[in-house]
Chains A and B, each alone.
Chain A
């Protein structure tokens, strides 16, 4: 998170100082790090990227099995 905010701070500062190339490098780095950290945060060793707690189909199957 520190790296992401550092690159964003650098991008904003470069943009304000009209350093176009440096702004783009920092902005792209920030964007890539943000996407990476987001995917890393939501991935679970058990569920992967799935969200079984909102899987209504699974609930229906279990209900049918109990009946």
Chain B
């Protein structure tokens, strides 16, 4: 029972840490390479925060199947948004091209599809291997102090990343739409049209 719970919480902390890493990489690319996120790119980031949110709820507030449902909802929404964005630019036409640089040959929306599908697949695999999570009701996360501390730290990092994203979006878009090619409030507006 304890081992199953440890594996389950370990899986969830790893999932949240992966989302935090991806979101950190996105911010690093944004600020160092000057690649501004488009509206759909920002919505994909929100979905990744949503996946992390479900994990933080499970770790800090006690396990619930509802939190797992929230994680899957955000993962499915991530796949839907990223698929639509990929389809927007999949056929070359004037004014439409994949935004940003390709990483390992794939552009960001394609990576987002893989991240969303990977999350759903990982959860399916975990449910198959570890069962229906009933053991997590009897063994709360604070039974594993190290894991609990790591999970809480990842939660704090997600909060910090979300705050940085919020400030960046205010600078980029103000309170309006995010169709910009610069930081509107820093004096380089230029709507992309």
**What chain B residues lie within 8 Å of A8 (beta carbons)?**
46, 49-50, 53, 162
Q: Which of B47, B70, B91 contacts A34 (CB 8 A)?
A: B47
User: Are A15 and B60 interface neighbours, CB within 8 A?
Assistant: yes
User: Are B46 and A42 interface neighbours, CB within 8 A?
Assistant: no
Q: Which of A2, A23, A30, A38 contacts B81 (CB 8 A)?
A: A38
**What chain B residues lie within 8 Å of A18 (beta carbons)?**
60-61
Q: Taking the complex as formed, is B163 at the interface, i.e. its CB lies under 8 A from any CB of chain A?
A: yes
User: Are A1 and B169 interface neighbours, CB within 8 A?
Assistant: yes
Q: Taking the complex as formed, is B102 at the interface, i.e. its CB lies under 8 A from any CB of chain A?
A: no
User: Are A12 and B158 interface neighbours, CB within 8 A?
Assistant: yes
Q: Taking the complex as formed, is A41 at the interface, i.e. its CB lies under 8 A from any CB of chain B?
A: yes
- Per-position contact with B for A1-25: 1 when CB-CB < 8 Å, else 0? 1101110110111011010100100
Q: Taking the complex as formed, is B26 at the interface, i.e. its CB lies under 8 A from any CB of chain A?
A: no
CB distance from A59 to the nearest CB of B (A): 10
Interface residues of chain A: helix, strand, loop or mixed (majority): helix
For B175, give the chain A residue with the smallest CB separation. Answer: A2
**What chain B residues lie within 8 Å of A16 (beta carbons)?**
56, 60, 152, 155-156, 159
Which residues of B from 97 to 154 have beta carbons under 8 Å from A?
152
- The contact size tier of chain B is 35 or more
Q: Taking the complex as formed, is B7 at the interface, i.e. its CB lies under 8 A from any CB of chain A?
A: no
Q: Which of B53, B88, B169 contacts A51 (CB 8 A)?
A: B88
For B74, give the chain A residue with the smallest CB separation. Answer: A31
Q: Taking the complex as formed, is A35 at the interface, i.e. its CB lies under 8 A from any CB of chain B?
A: yes
Q: Which residues of B contact A (CB under 8 A)?
A: 39-40, 42-43, 46-47, 49-50, 52-53, 56-57, 60-61, 70, 73-74, 77, 80-81, 84, 87-88, 90-91, 93, 152, 155-156, 158-159, 162-163, 165-166, 169-170, 173, 175, 177-178
Can you add 18 more A-B contacts, CB < 8 Å, to A18-B61, A20-B57?
Answer: A1-B177, A1-B178, A2-B169, A2-B170, A4-B43, A5-B169, A12-B49, A12-B162, A15-B53, A16-B156, A16-B159, A23-B57, A27-B53, A35-B77, A38-B81, A41-B43, A54-B90, A54-B91
Chain A to chain B contacts (Cβ below 8 Å), 15 pairs: A1-B169, A1-B173, A2-B175, A4-B42, A5-B166, A8-B49, A9-B159, A12-B53, A15-B57, A15-B61, A20-B57, A27-B50, A34-B46, A38-B81, A42-B84
Q: Which residues of A contact B (CB under 8 A)?
A: 1-2, 4-6, 8-9, 11-13, 15-16, 18, 20, 23, 27, 30-31, 34-35, 37-38, 41-42, 51, 53-54
